[in-house]
């Protein structure tokens, strides 16, 4: 690409703002960030970022700050080369992400990158944008928005990018798109961004953490470091839940080594007291991502005939919590006795 890549980033919270910063930092991209609750704060003061990779940065602004997804009409405008999505994934609450980004997508041109946790998140995108390349971003970072426009990144950014396989499109082209994104993202240095072609394995590996630690910390209100001090939760809940994730992934064709369980239990130093994103969401009164992080694992398990009693119980508890949040936000029609209006 001769000029800088034109990037639209939707979801400039914890990892989205760090991604926008990294993309701009390498000078190979110009980023338009779509903001929502933090729009006024960022317009006024810019972002304040405290980052284990970049230090303390004040008043940082991407090339463009928007309060809505722009409508790409052609008319001589440059299309977006990439749309990077870093919102939470909450498919049980509309509008869908495909509807949200739809107006900005140029068919056969825009590469859509999903930097989000969870399984099967690409499915609606492959249906809605069959002629566009969809990339998977699996992030390990621990970055959160602690107040509007104020971002704290505690772990080193470690991002894996690969193409979600679209059988309609040329495989080499999809791989090259992933490699190009990696090049742009890592150009500024200070960050690890790798091409990971085996997207399914990468996502299952990360799910060993996210399908277990995230909801267990969210439901107990206890961070990973403190939970490590409670043998009962680790031995009787976390460990067997992780074993279930491994059983399901194996049944779906992805064999993970048993050692991943111990590695995932111990990957965060106790003193770091990591608060997973789902725990943060509950603390903020936000919706949780239990459908893609747990629900999809359980649906895959059912399809493969694998029993997941522990994950299913955790999922049911999360569904109850989500219902409570929907009710608090006025999204439950009690008269109709249904989940959501």
Ligand X SMILES: CC(C)(CO)C(=O)C(=O)O
Choosing from 10, 177, 301, 318, the residue that interacts with ligand NDP (CB under 6 A) is: 10
Nearer residue to ligand NDP within complex by CB, 178 or 293:
293
The answer for residues whose C-beta is within 8 angstroms of residue 262's C-beta and 6 or more apart is none
Kindly identify the residues of this chain, within the stretch 63-122, that bind ligand X according to CB under 6 A.
117
Beta strands in the chain (DSSP E): 5-10, 29-34, 47-51, 55-60, 64-66, 82-85, 111-115, 134-140, 143-147, 150-153, 158-163, 192-195
* Residue 318 sits in the site that holds ligand NDP (CB under 6 A): no
Given a contact cutoff of 8 angstroms between Cβ atoms, the answer to whether 249 and 204 are in contact is yes
CA dist 310 and 124 (Å) reads 28
Residue 6: both structure tokens together: 């034109």
Nearer residue to ligand NDP within complex by CB, 17 or 169:
17
Choosing from 7, 23, 84, 86, the residue that interacts with ligand NDP (CB under 6 A) is: 86
Distance of CA 308 to the CA centre of its chain: 24
Residue 36: both structure tokens together: 């929502």
Q: Which stretch binds ligand NDP (CB under 6 A): 32-40, 123-131, 222-230, 332-340?
A: 32-40
Choosing from 51, 113, 117, 174, the residue that interacts with ligand NDP (CB under 6 A) is: 117
CA dist 138 and 116 (Å) reads 7
Choosing from 1, 27, 36, 189, the residue that interacts with ligand NDP (CB under 6 A) is: 36
Of ligand X, ligand NDP, none, which one does residue 87 interact with (CB within 5 to 8 Å by kind)? ligand NDP
Which residues are bridge partners to 240 per DSSP?
none
Nearer residue to ligand NDP within complex by CB, 16 or 306:
16
* Residue 191 sits in the site that holds ligand X (CB under 6 A): no
Of ligand X, ligand NDP, none, which one does residue 274 interact with (CB within 5 to 8 Å by kind)? ligand X
Which residues are bridge partners to 151 per DSSP?
49, 145
Choosing from 31, 112, 274, 332, the residue that interacts with ligand X (CB under 6 A) is: 274
| Interacting residues with ligand X (CB under 6 A) | 117, 140-142, 209-210, 214, 274, 276-277
């Amino acid at each position: 690409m001769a000029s800088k890549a034109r990037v639209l980033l939707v979801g400039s919270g914890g990892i989205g703002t760090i991604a926008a910063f990294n993309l701009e930092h390498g000078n190979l991209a110009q980023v338009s960030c779509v903001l929502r609750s933090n729009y006024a704060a960022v317009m006024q003061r810019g972002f304040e970022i405290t980052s284990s990779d970049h230090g303390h940065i004040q008043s940082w602004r991407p090339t463009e700050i928007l309060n809505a997804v722009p409508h790409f009409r052609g008319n001589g405008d440059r299309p977006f080369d990439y749309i990077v999505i870093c919102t939470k994934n909450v498919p049980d609450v509309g509008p869908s992400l495909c509807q949200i980004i739809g107006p900005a997508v140029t068919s056969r041109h825009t590469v859509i990158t999903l930097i989000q946790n969870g399984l099967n998140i690409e499915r609606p995108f492959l249906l809605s944008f069959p002629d566009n390349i969809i990339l998977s971003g699996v992030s390990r970072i621990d970055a959160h928005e602690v107040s509007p426009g104020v971002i704290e990144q505690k772990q080193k950014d470690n991002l894996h990018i690969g193409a979600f396989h679209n059988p309609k499109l040329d495989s080499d082209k999809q791989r090259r798109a992933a490699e190009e994104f990696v090049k742009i993202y890592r150009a500024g240095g200070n960050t690890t961004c790798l091409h990971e072609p085996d997207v399914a394995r990468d996502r299952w590996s990360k799910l060993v953490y996210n399908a277990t630690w995230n909801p267990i910390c969210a439901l107990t209100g206890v961070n990973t470091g403190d939970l490590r001090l409670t043998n009962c939760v680790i031995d009787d809940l976390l460990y067997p839940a992780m074993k279930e994730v491994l059983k399901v992934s194996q049944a779906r064709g992805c064999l993970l080594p048993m050692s991943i369980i111990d590695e995932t239990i111990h990957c965060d130093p106790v003193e770091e007291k990591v608060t997973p994103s789902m725990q943060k969401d509950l603390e903020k009164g936000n919706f949780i991502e239990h459908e893609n992080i747990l629900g999809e694992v359980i649906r895959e398990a059912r399809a493969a005939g694998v029993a997941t009693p522990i994950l299913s119980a955790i999922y049911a508890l999360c569904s109850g919590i989500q219902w409570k949040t929907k009710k608090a936000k006025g999204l439950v029609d009690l008269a109709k006795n249904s989940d959501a209006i």
